[in-house]
Amino acid sequence: MYSVCVRDHFMIAHSFTGETFGPAQRLHGATYVVDAELRRAVLDADSVVVDIGRLSEVLRSVLNEMNYHNLDQMLEFGGRNTTTEFLAKVIFDRLAARIHNGALGGSAANGVSSMRITLHESHVAWAAYEAELNTAS
């Protein structure tokens, strides 16, 4: 299995509800480092998984939707604890939709079988979401 991974970051503010979160129930900030890894069994005609530059641009467009925002004030997250695990799935879903809609180029994503999104909260803690992709036309 081949893979390619790009990295970016975004900054947010948010708070959590529930005793589980202790002091994180108060408004606080986070800077997440995000890894987006795509996999395929066979390289495409250009001998790549996908174009790294395009993947970087598409990931940036996804992250820009949340960058420098207070997630508590975003309607789409109303009533949700925007934990690292939760945000990994949000980013996965948004990136997968863009891939499916051709953001990586015409047939560039055909053959991509799976994706893993990893959010690093710090150098010692991270969470991820991984699943199969159905990108074949």
In a domain, 137, yes or no: no
Kindly give the confidence (pLDDT) of every residue in the chain, 137 residues in length, as a single tens digit, with 9 standing for 90 and above.
999 999 999 999 999 999 999 999 999 999 999 999 999 999 988 899 999 999 999 999 999 999 999 999 999 999 899 999 999 999 999 999 999 988 987 666 678 999 999 999 999 999 999 999 875 44
Helices (H), 3-104: 52-64, 84-100
In a domain, 81, yes or no: yes
In a domain, 16, yes or no: yes
Domain residues for the domain of 14 are 2-39+47-132
In a domain, 9, yes or no: yes
Q: Which residues contact 84 (CB under 8 A, 6 or more apart)?
A: 32, 119, 121, 125, 126, 127
Question: What global pTM score does this model have?
Answer: 0.93
Per-residue confidence (pLDDT) for residue 27, from 0 to 100: 95
Structurally, the chain folds into a number of domains equal to 1
Q: What are phi and psi of 94, to 5 degrees?
A: -70, -40
In a domain, 109, yes or no: yes
Which own/partner pairs from 73-80 qualify as long-range (CB within 8 Å, at least 24 positions apart)? none
**What is the CATH number for 116?**
3.30.479.10
Per-residue confidence (pLDDT) for residue 56, from 0 to 100: 98
